[in-house]
Amino acid sequence: MTKGIIYYTDNQADERINRRVREQLLSIGLPITSVTLKPVPNFGHNIVLPLERGMLTMFTQILTALENCAEDVVFFCEHDMLYHPSHFDFTPTARDTFYYNVNVWKVRAEDGHAVWVDNCQQVSGICIYREDAIKHYRERIKFTQDGTWSRGKGFEPGHKQSRLPWQNRFFVGTWMSALPNLDIRHKHNLTANRWSTDKFRDKSTCQNWTETNDVPYWGTFTLDEIPPAASPSPTPGSRD
């Protein structure tokens, strides 16, 4: 079984974030297939799509990456997520399943304030067999093009399946890497930033809300001093 990284970006994030995330991913050592809206030299197999930023573009970028990489298992990686090396230790045990790494802290780029919620399942934390992901994203693009899909019907594959007439249905699985990933929230995120529990209509999605300015493993975050490339930690663990 082979593993690879697919990377997709709208090239809108601060270049300090872009550069640091790419450095981190290159340090992992897995093959990278990147699909971008502007050229990103020296970063895996880079494919540039002449498209405008948007939901359909993002889905198209993901599918393009999936169809142009050769590995059996893929990790979805985004331009504003710092991935700890332990994230890539995971191997999916079942087919037809989107697995989400739920060990993730969201950090506010401008001041380093971070929050944790239990069971945070995001597209940026997906691991799945590549052929299964291709099936899903071909359908997702079709539904987006014909107007069947909308934001309210969900971004995360495997969730809210009853809201669309999927031909291929998938299970959802989760895992927790030994140490957390860091989701950098900035002015150009495609999804909303919420920094208090009263912003959540569904309170089940913000259980065990925890705030800090010193994220486990990564420490204190600032744009000018983004944490260095990950190194072994003397105290493995999920959050403390």
Residue pLDDT, tens place only, 47-80 = 999 999 999 999 999 999 999 999 999 999 999 9
Residue 189 — pLDDT band, cuts 50, 70, 90? low
**pLDDT (tens digit per residue) in 80-127:** 999 999 999 999 999 999 999 999 999 998 889 999 999 999 999 999
Rg (CA), the chain: 17
Find out whether 213 and 113 touch, Cβ atoms under 8 Å. Answer: yes
Model confidence at 214: pLDDT above 50: yes
pLDDT confidence of residue 204: 75
pLDDT confidence of residue 195: 58
Pairing assessment for the beta strands 81-82 and 73-78 based on DSSP bridges: unpaired
Instruction: Please compute the mean of the pLDDT values over residues 185-200 and round it to a whole number.
Output: 71
Find out whether 95 and 10 touch, Cβ atoms under 8 Å. Answer: no
Structure tokens at 134: 């291709």
Q: Parse the chain into domains and list their residue ranges.
A: 3-225
CA distance 50 to 57: 10
pLDDT confidence of residue 202: 72
- Bridge partner residues of 212 (DSSP): 114
Domain 3-225, second-level architecture? Alpha-Beta Complex (3.90)
Q: Which of 122, 116, 108, 114 is nearest to 78 (CA)?
A: 122
Instruction: Please compute the mean of the pLDDT values over residues 167-175 and round it to a whole number.
Output: 97
Is this prediction's pTM over 0.95? no
- The mean pLDDT value of the chain amounts to 89
pLDDT confidence of residue 119: 93
Contacts of 234 (CB under 8 A, 6+ apart): none
Residue 228 — pLDDT band, cuts 50, 70, 90? low
pLDDT confidence of residue 187: 73
Model confidence at 170: pLDDT above 90: yes
Model confidence at 9: pLDDT above 80: yes
pLDDT confidence of residue 232: 39
Structure tokens at 143: 């539904």
Residue 225 — pLDDT band, cuts 50, 70, 90? confident
